Copies of this chain bind each other. A is one copy, B any other.
């Protein structure tokens, strides 16, 4: 079987490394506009060789679109236009409504499966890819009933084989949920990084005292702008609402601090402590 990875980054590269381990005879082709990524992907053994998008579509049983989401919506139509009958294309985008909307207008919609593997780090590119990223993690498939049964069966078999746990939801559910449990965390971290870096201009030694609590909350500010700008754009309505909610809570908290309403501060924090229940669940996953 030949599988192509379009966009050989953290996610696409890690998928390839997981597949290689399970299927030593699988041929994995790579498509990437960055020559550096191409070279690293071959040198690291992520892909057998680099091909053009047209070659990938022509040769592969399965084409995996693992680029930034704006690129996915741009090339998905072209891939579906050219894909031979019986073959499958999936995407790995962190948004699903716009990508599925593009797919839904295409006569070959049923050869597409919308997939989101819930895994990542703040690093990007094929150099950051590692075999252990996806196994054990959750994976969302959206609008499963719109894809042909054979395509779904192939995709689910591969994902389960590399150890992913599959869940189903609509694109709208997916994008709403992700806004709160992923996209908001990223905006929060980016803004925190900006705030403290701005202060550093006046107070050079400010980071001398930064410790693990700070690094934990600001870690995601290292994430790739090129990946995240299109995600925020495609999930604009949900991210904007989540951010609005967040800003309101921060304002309330600030008001409680400003007016020394310790009871309000205590109540906010005690309610927030309930997050322990959630985090224990995540760690047990």
Could you give, for residues 223-257 of chain A, a 1 whenever the CB lies within 8 Å of some chain B CB and a 0 otherwise? Answer: 10110111011001001101111110111011001
Which partner residue on chain B sits nearest A228 by CB separation?
A: B269
Cβ contact within 8 Å between A195 and B239 = no
Hey, what's the 0/1 contact readout for A151-176 against B, CB within 8 Å counting as 1? Answer: 00000000000000001000000101
Measured CB to CB, the nearest residue on chain B to A119 is B211
Contacts of A193 in B (CB 8 A): 271-275
A75 at the interface (CB under 8 A from B): no
Bound-state CA distance A72–B131 (Å) is 50
Q: How many copies of this chain are found per oligomer?
A: 2
Do B209 and A185 have beta carbons less than 8 Å apart?
Answer: no
Instruction: Report how far A148 CA is from B283 CA in the complex, Å.
Output: 48
Which of B220, B253, B262 interacts with A187 by CB under 8 Å?
B253
A282 within 8 A of B: yes
CB distance from A243 to the nearest CB of B (A): 5
Instruction: Please determine whether B268 and A190 come into contact, CB atoms closer than 8 angstroms.
Output: yes
Whether A138 sits at the interface, judged by CB under 8 Å, is yes
CB distance from A263 to the nearest CB of B (A): 9
Complexed CA–CA distance, A182 and B199 (Å): 13
Interface size class of A (residues with CB under 8 A): 35 or more
CB of A137 closer than 8 Å to a CB of B = yes
Q: What residues on B are CB-neighbors of A253 within 8 Å?
A: 187, 190-191, 243
- Which B residues are in CB contact (< 8 Å) with A257? 187, 232-233, 236, 239-240, 243
Name the contact of A199 in the complex, choosing from B180, B216, B247 (C-beta under 8 A): B180
Q: Which of B194, B220, B270 meets A213, CB within 8 Å? A: B220
A215→B281 CA distance, assembly (Å): 10
- Most B C-beta atoms less than 10 A away, residue of A192, A258, A283: A192
A177/B203 contact (C-beta < 8 A), A211-B182, A213-B220, A229-B269 known = yes
CA distance A221 to B250 in the complex (A): 13
A160 to chain B, nearest CB (A): 17
Chain A, range 64-122, C-beta contacts under 8 Å to B: 118-122
Contact B250 A246 (CB under 8 A): yes
Can you list the 9 inter-chain pairs with the closest CB atoms, starting with the nearest?
Answer: A225-B269, A193-B272, A193-B275, A181-B210, A191-B249, A185-B217, A190-B272, A221-B272, A229-B265
Q: With A138-B208, A194-B271, A210-B282 given, name 7 new contacts (CB 8 A).
A: A187-B257, A188-B250, A189-B217, A191-B246, A195-B242, A195-B246, A213-B220
